[in-house]
Amino acid sequence: MSNLEEIISNLTMELRRGTLVLCVLSQLEKEQYGYSLVQNLAERGMIIEQSTLYPLLRRLEKQGLLDSNWSLDESRPRRYYVLNEKGRRVLNSLIGEWTDMNNTITKLLETKNGDGDNERLD
């Protein structure tokens, strides 16, 4: 991998890391266990390793944003996670922040040409 490719890869990873909490919280309105959450996110284009997800879930639970419970109904015990009220408030706040930030970044990445049309910088 060239130096430029490595820089791009590292910066892309930083961008993704910054969005993981929002992505995970957005999928926990309904109770899910870790592996189902990994699959759910992957189906929507957000790949996350289990080794990244489980510490994140534990941290979010410790922060009081998630509730969890063990289910012994299946062949293997599974820990299910779901947003609680505090988590919903935090998610709604983060969605607002994301929307504002996304709008700002979109404006920063656009330039006006002579016709007033928006062009994307490459």
Beta bridge partners of 119: 111
46-92 per-position pLDDT tens digit: 999 999 999 999 999 999 999 999 998 878 899 999 999 999 999 99
Domain boundaries, the chain: 3-109
Structure-token match 């930030």, residue found? 101
Give me the percent of the chain exceeding a pLDDT of 70: 90
Q: Give the pLDDT of residue 29.
A: 96
CATH code of the region 3-109? 1.10.10.10
d(CA 1, CA 54): 30
Greater confidence, 112 or 10? 10
How much is the pLDDT for 117? 55
The DSSP string of 50-119 is: HHHHHHHHHHHHHTTSEEEEEE-SSSS-EEEEEE-HHHHHHHHHHHHHHHHHHHHHHHHTEEE-TTS-EE
Give pLDDT, residue 57.
98
Confidence of residue 113 (pLDDT cuts 50, 70, 90): very low
pLDDT recorded at residue 119: 55
- Looking at per-residue pLDDT, the higher value among 16 and 83 belongs to 83
Please count the other Cβ atoms lying within 10 Å of the Cβ belonging to residue 90: 19
Q: Average of pLDDT values for 7-16?
A: 92
* 111 has a pLDDT exceeding 90: no
The residue with greater pLDDT, 113 or 22, is: 22
Closest C-alpha among 76, 77, 67 to residue 28: 67
Question: How many Cα neighbours within 13 Å face the side chain of 4?
Answer: 0
